[in-house]
Amino acid sequence: MRYLAAALVLFPLITSLLLWFLPASLVWRGLEVDQYLPYGVRVTLPRGTVREGYTTLRFRTFPASKLSWALITPNFTEGTFALRYRVQLEGPNHAADATVSLQNSGLNLLGVTGFVESEDINRLAGPFGHQFSGRLNANLSNIRWNPPCIEAATGRIDWTGGLITLNLFDRTSSYPLPALETKLQDTDCGVKLLVSHQKKNLADLQLTNQGWFIARLEPALLRLAKVPDANQIKQSLLFEEKIL
């Protein structure tokens, strides 16, 4: 029993010391400078230590982001070992800040706050003929990812409003919209966004863990966007597209 107690004390201490000084690049030793991950994500070889460092994160045509991390504390309770980090994401017109808890069973994103301006969104949307204006503001309390499933997601992603230009069916159209509120929730291993304006539901947007984007648009949204003949549409419109 005495040796067990000593081991329980020494294990977190030794682990903390290793994490404090271990170069981050050792985790990636033997790999190429750029790592190509699923869904078009690319990561540049990290710099610093596992305790504190940074890397460059790229996603398709979205502007490059500097991802930095700092270990808050390792935690060993009830037989579960977890690492808690403060992470920051910074780019030309976007930024985010969060606490990340890493465990064997997955990761938790806690207290996520951030924004992305339309200039950066359009780097992704532009090649498809779409253009957006305004700014997205995120305030997410919890996201739990246990690959391949998102097990929990709560928070808000709000848009300041503006003009949206969409290229659909080889036709480009522009629609003015007011500020919209969005509630984030988990559903069937994916996430869903419930879009509303002045507490009236306008759309449900869902991203599945298989990479399918599913959108259900309510007639109220079409009228708000001044879509021609929107008053004649009485049923929800459903769209599906594989995006990841």
Summarised one tens digit per residue, pLDDT across range 23-45 is 555 555 544 456 667 778 888 87
For the chain, the average pLDDT equals 84
Report helix, strand or coil for 172: strand
The pLDDT of residue 169: 72
Whole-structure pTM over 0.85, yes or no?
no
Of the two residues 29 and 158, the one the predictor is more confident about is: 158
> Does pLDDT of 209 surpass 80?
yes
Tally: H helices and E strands in the chain: 4, 17
Residue in the block written with tokens 């500020």:
179
Q: What percent of the chain has pLDDT over 90?
A: 50
Q: Is the pLDDT of residue 18 over 70?
A: no
**56: pLDDT confidence band, cut at 50, 70 and 90?**
very high
Neighbours of 79 (CB within 10 A): 5
- Max avg pLDDT among 69-78, 153-162, 167-176: 153-162
Overall average pLDDT of the 52-64 stretch: 91
In sequence order, which residues have a C-beta less than 8 Å from that of residue 26 and are 6 or more positions away? Answer: none
How many Å apart are CA 154 and CA 140, to the nearest integer?
6
Band (65; pLDDT cuts 50, 70, 90): very high
Task: Identify the CA nearest to 108 among candidates 79, 85, 77.
Answer: 85
Contact between 147 and 106 (Cβ < 8 Å): yes
Query: Three-class SS of residue 116?
Result: strand
- Provide mean pLDDT across the span 124-145: 92
Q: Which pLDDT does position 44 carry in this prediction?
A: 83
Q: What does the pLDDT read at residue 239?
A: 86
Which residue has 């981050």 as its token pair?
24
Q: What is the pLDDT of residues 136-152, one digit of tens each?
A: 999 999 999 888 889 99
Q: What's the distance, CA 62 to chain centroid?
A: 13
CA–CA separation, 50 and 201 (whole Å): 44
- Chain center to CA of 159: 15
